[in-house]
Structure 1
Amino acid sequence: MRPQGSPSPLARADAAGRPADDPRSHLLNNATAEEYRRLVSDGVARVARTVAGTTRPFTGTTPGELAPVVDAIDLDRPLGDASAALEELERVYLRDAVYFHHPRYLAHLNCPVVLPALLGEAVLSAVNSSLDTWDQSAGGTLMERRLVDWTAARIGLGRAADGVFTSGGTQSNVQALLLAREEAFRLLRKNSAAPPPVSAMLPKLRVLTSEAAHFSVLKGAKLLGLEPDAVVPVPCDASRRMRVDALAHEVRRCREEGLTVMAVSATAGTTDFGSIDPLPEIAALCEEAGVWFHVDAAYGCGLLASPTRRHLLDGIERADSVTVDYHKSFFQPVSSSAVVVRDGTTLRHATYHADYLNPARNVEERIPNQVDKSIQTTRRFDALKLWLTLRVMGADAVGELFDRVVDLAADAWRLLDADPRFTVVTEPTLSTLVFRYVPARAGNGGPAADETAVDLANLHAREAIAASGEAVVAATVVDGRHHLKFTLLNPETTLDDIRAVLDLLAAHAEDHLTRNARLTGTPAA
């Protein structure tokens, strides 16, 4: 409904007789192409100025400070002018956005993005292809299929492999588990004289995964109707890799208890530690047991392009399904991900035909509809970003960028390991470091610090550095204790940046402990 007092779209007319404020003037078409060029140029110029002028990754704003600014916007009263809207956008978004391109953003699995991918983003948004059916995407369909084939070849899955782009690692993991569940049902029916109903099979299904695996495995199991205890966490070794002996024990236990292991989900790059499970040994165990082998390589997939570290993924070529997130270690904008399977026929478990979209006759006519493979229907042409990246930069250049952050993590680990102010959990395989501030006295023969106080000091240090805007780091819990975390995905970050952030964290933590000691009357550790 038009706000009271606003002019009618028919109140004014342009020279051609069309109302100047006709809503059709906002559609992209041959008549508005030049206006589109101007608007996008203005928007890109503003973002470029913001990026060029960014001196810290975050302003430190809080939800309490920013929410009233956003809530004050009356969405029923349009500004009527793109320049005014961009000015407003500066206040409600650009000014306080978290900028992953800044070298002291060290928190989560967010990467700076390469320019060819941004070009792809601009193109795909304007054309707005939908990658569900051929008659909505044409060349986009074939380009996505070619990229899936390229990825499958890099993994080493063979000529029967296939896959589809997804919104992210969670969707990829959920779809992989869906395929594994349906294949488990198929085998149970095949091997039973009297095929049991789904209601009898479902409660007995189990998924085995590392205790350090991503939470999307648990979420996927719930979405697929599995029991609350269906996901069995397998213990890790000191390097936070799944223990194969413990996995073998769980496989035997499930068999003895009449349970069906529908999948083993290994991780090639855990979120907290960047650890890579022993893929060859897990693959061998799965092959012997006849169990679906999934590899969540959402983080570690950058190794597929690495000129020096591809061997760290050895064994992934034996997987039944693989998750890849190009928007992590291929430096792509969100979203750009895929699930790839060894046997493309298993994707039929996600296939449904609708007469209004992808009728079954399309298969006989060999019309390529990507919706036949996906759990999504409408889907962006996100593959274009990776396509242009490979055509402009090449895979080796992407791999070299990932190698840089892995090299940096190794140098930062040595720095942390030698610093008495911190303890570091494990030497990194990829680019993640988990560590904890410890008071100096505890490491030099003095009285041990109260662990709860140290927990609070670490939490405070993270919050204080974010509030200052000087850096952004992450946090996690290891063995019941609060730790800090660097996730290094910016090739522009230097060891000097790491040193500076460590000094800030230590200062904030020490200040917290000192102030707490004054308040409680206890000596600082």
Structure 2
Amino acid sequence: MSSSSQARPFDRYFLTAQTESIESYQEAIALTQELIVNNILQEDKPYFGLNPSLLQESFRDFCPKNFTQQDYPQIEPELAEIIRHGAMVTHPACVAHLHCPPLIPAIAAELIIGSLNQSMDSWDQSPSATILEQQLTRWLCDLFGYSNSADGTFTSGGTQSNLMGLLLARDNYAKTHLKWHIQRQGLPPEAQQFRIFCSDVAHFTIRQGAAILGLGENGVIPIETDENFQLKPEILSAKLRTLQQDNLRPIAIVATAGTTDFGSIDPLPELAKIARDHGLWFHVDAAYGGALKLSQNHGHKLKGIELADSITVDFHKLFYQPISCGAFLLKNQANFGLIKLHADYLNPESNEAQGIPDLVTKSIQTTRRFDALKLWLSLKTLGVETFGEMIDSTIELAGAIALIIAEDAELELANIPTINAVVFRYQPSQGTATEIDRINEQIPKKLMLEGKGIIAQTQVKGRNYLKFTLLNPLTTLKDLQKLLIEIKSLGQTLHTTDINHELKKNC
């Protein structure tokens, strides 16, 4: 028998047509399914309850210095512990962040994506994946009201999409107004004068993106918002006049369609007009709110988004996709030319001349996953109408619990929900502002460690608040009412502890 035909120790760990490989694959998948069913679906708490130090101690022996070969069943107990001590995002009381329970079709797609392991940079690495992503991107452009001159690319999420929007805004301004090609020449001397505008509650990745692009966090000008946390166009217009007098160079306006805390949507038509009148790039961060385009009842809230030069949309939020999955949409596909590069070993220029699509020319990523398959399979399985119904149900739930909070003497509602984020806090009748802040800071931590719920905390005008982010369409009003009872009980306990501590101090 030749050495090439002899089985080697590692052969069974790769997908091949060999019987041993197939059996190994099926065993791993079957055991994984069993682990998930037993340790996620049977868990009645959103979190098991270990704090960071105890969890670190529990996992102390999980990463030995020298790993030795073990069969999958031998590793199963450790895998079970890893799963068991995770945040159970599918639990109806896990309502902290923009972190959705994933759809079953999307989870199934993840298995296909991982098994095929196609990379989206060049067509010869991802033939079917390239074509399918292009078709889905075209559908997304149509969904958001773009013409046939638009295009897009899938991304890892809002951070990357927002960075791409700012990158193209910067390079487009330099090319158009300074006759300067940043891709070839680097930043122009005038770059220190570039300024980007967004609301004072815009996502932090706008500042982060500006810093990465060499413009600095100070290159972002936050604009005051109104009582609904929407950017004020009149303040923006006044600021633009001031900047021009100061010899600074506005290059872009970033609107938010769904702020992280309040789900607020900036006035898109008004901001689009200001951008157009001043010759500025108009980017809309719709990572959170973009899914409203699937809603029959709330799609109108995104009126004006079709006027944007670029759009961020995330699918691992209200499209219910496993992390990570997002998209960047571009009104004029010619602007992708600002970042286009060719490499002889990857996407030679001759490919483009022959009509071979290498998607790396539209992305700041090279190796990239076939994430479009997750969204495609979900849409094919559920249909667009069902997606809209799921989104609408969460918005209705947010409105219902907000009314209950508003009528509760021990709670204070911070906002009427625009989408499905509800900000509020425990508000006892007595206690200093500092004491009440401390109580509201402690409630989410204790609630999680007791395994009763995972909720978020944030700040509104310098004060500590709590937040329900209601992405899960399976969460009910009863689930949230139960959480409110736990929140108030914890608040009362913490408040009593504060009072007793103060009494002891004064005795």
- Counterpart of 2:99 in structure 1 is 110
- Counterpart of 1:276 in structure 2 is 265
Provide the rounded CA distance (Å) in 1 between the counterparts of 2:290 and 2:34: 33
- Counterpart of 1:6 in structure 2 is none
Kept in 2, the 8 Å contact 1:56–1:469? The answer is: yes
CA drift at 1:396: 1.4
- Counterpart of 2:297 in structure 1 is 308
Provide the rounded CA distance (Å) in 2 between the counterparts of 1:21 and 1:82: 18
Q: Which runs of 4+ in 1 moved over 3 A?
A: 16-21, 196-199
Query: Does 2:17 match 1:30?
Result: yes
CA drift at 1:427: 0.5
- Counterpart of 2:468 in structure 1 is 486
Counterpart amino acid of residue 247 in structure 1: L
CA drift at 1:261: 1.3
Kept in 2, the 8 Å contact 1:209–1:234? The answer is: yes
- Counterpart of 1:453 in structure 2 is 435
Q: Which one of 72, 80, 102 corresponds to residue 70 of structure 2?
A: 80
CA drift at 1:146: 0.9
Q: Which one of 408, 412, 421 corresponds to residue 432 of structure 1?
A: 421
CA drift at 1:476: 0.6
Kept in 2, the 8 Å contact 1:157–1:319? The answer is: no
Provide the rounded CA distance (Å) in 1 between the counterparts of 2:187 and 2:69: 56
Counterpart amino acid of residue 250 in structure 1: K
CA drift at 1:289: 1.1
Counterpart amino acid of residue 24 in structure 1: D
Pairing of 1:312-331 with structure 2 (within 5 A): 312-331=301-320
CA drift at 1:187: 1.7
Kept in 1, the 8 Å contact 2:410–2:429? The answer is: yes
CA drift at 1:272: 0.8
CA drift at 1:19: 6.8
Provide the rounded CA distance (Å) in 2 between the counterparts of 1:368 and 1:51: 41
Q: Give the secondary structure class of the aligned counterpart of 1:346.
A: helix
- Counterpart of 1:234 in structure 2 is 223
Provide the rounded CA distance (Å) in 1 between the counterparts of 2:493 and 2:57: 32
1:337-388 per-residue CA deviation (whole Å, 9 max, x = no partner) reads: 0000100111122211111111122221211011010000000100000010
Kept in 2, the 8 Å contact 1:141–1:368? The answer is: yes
Q: Which one of 79, 86, 103 corresponds to residue 89 of structure 1?
A: 79
CA drift at 1:78: 2.5
Provide the rounded CA distance (Å) in 2 between the counterparts of 1:75 and 1:66: 19
CA drift at 1:21: 6.1
Pairing of 1:394-405 with structure 2 (within 5 A): 394-405=383-394
Kept in 2, the 8 Å contact 1:205–1:261? The answer is: yes
Counterpart amino acid of residue 55 in structure 1: D
Pairing of 1:109-188 with structure 2 (within 5 A): 109-188=98-177
CA drift at 1:20: 6.5
- Counterpart of 1:60 in structure 2 is 49
Kept in 1, the 8 Å contact 2:13–2:24? The answer is: no
CA drift at 1:86: 2.2
- Counterpart of 2:451 in structure 1 is 469
1:137-174 per-residue CA deviation (whole Å, 9 max, x = no partner) reads: 00100111111111111100111110100011000000
Kept in 2, the 8 Å contact 1:60–1:467? The answer is: yes
Structure 2 unaligned residues grouped into runs of 5+: none
Provide the rounded CA distance (Å) in 2 between the counterparts of 1:304 and 1:75: 50
Kept in 2, the 8 Å contact 1:270–1:299? The answer is: yes
1:466-488 per-residue CA deviation (whole Å, 9 max, x = no partner) reads: 11011000001111111111100
- Counterpart of 1:416 in structure 2 is 405
- Counterpart of 1:351 in structure 2 is 340
1:370-424 per-residue CA deviation (whole Å, 9 max, x = no partner) reads: 1010000000100000010111111111121111111100111111111111111
CA drift at 1:75: 5.2
Q: Give the secondary structure class of the aligned counterpart of 1:521.
A: helix
Provide the rounded CA distance (Å) in 1 between the counterparts of 2:369 and 2:28: 22
Counterpart amino acid of residue 53 in structure 1: Q
CA drift at 1:112: 0.8
Provide the rounded CA distance (Å) in 1 between the counterparts of 2:221 and 2:12: 56
- Counterpart of 2:494 in structure 1 is 512
Query: Does 2:60 match 1:71?
Result: yes
How many equivalent residue pairs? Answer: 498
Q: Which one of 480, 485, 498 corresponds to residue 498 of structure 1?
A: 480
CA drift at 1:206: 0.5
Q: Give the secondary structure class of the aligned counterpart of 2:468.
A: strand
CA drift at 1:90: 1.0
Q: Give the secondary structure class of the aligned counterpart of 2:188.
A: helix
- CA distance change for structure 1 residues 401 and 49 in 2, over 3 Å: closer, same or farther? same
Provide the rounded CA distance (Å) in 1 between the counterparts of 2:419 and 2:374: 24
- CA distance change for structure 1 residues 87 and 511 in 2, over 3 Å: closer, same or farther? same
Q: Give the secondary structure class of the aligned counterpart of 2:317.
A: helix
Provide the rounded CA distance (Å) in 1 between the counterparts of 2:364 and 2:323: 19
Counterpart amino acid of residue 75 in structure 2: A
- CA distance change for structure 1 residues 20 and 469 in 2, over 3 Å: closer, same or farther? farther
Provide the rounded CA distance (Å) in 1 between the counterparts of 2:464 and 2:217: 27
CA drift at 1:70: 2.5
Provide the rounded CA distance (Å) in 2 between the counterparts of 1:392 and 1:184: 43
Q: Give the secondary structure class of the aligned counterpart of 1:66.
A: helix
CA drift at 1:254: 1.7
Kept in 2, the 8 Å contact 1:79–1:85? The answer is: no
TM-score by length of 2: 0.95
CA drift at 1:441: 4.7
Provide the rounded CA distance (Å) in 1 between the counterparts of 2:76 and 2:59: 14
Provide the rounded CA distance (Å) in 1 between the counterparts of 2:345 and 2:60: 41
Q: Give the secondary structure class of the aligned counterpart of 1:353.
A: coil
- Counterpart of 1:4 in structure 2 is none
Structure 1 unaligned residues grouped into runs of 5+: 1-13, 443-449
Kept in 2, the 8 Å contact 1:461–1:506? The answer is: no
Kept in 2, the 8 Å contact 1:113–1:331? The answer is: yes
Counterpart amino acid of residue 482 in structure 2: A
Q: Which one of 360, 384, 387 corresponds to residue 373 of structure 2?
A: 384
1:87-143 per-residue CA deviation (whole Å, 9 max, x = no partner) reads: 21112x111110111000110001111111111111111011101100000010011
Counterpart amino acid of residue 446 in structure 2: A
Kept in 2, the 8 Å contact 1:112–1:331? The answer is: yes
Provide the rounded CA distance (Å) in 1 between the counterparts of 2:65 and 2:131: 40
State which drifts further: 168-177 or 60-69: 60-69
Q: Give the secondary structure class of the aligned counterpart of 2:37.
A: helix
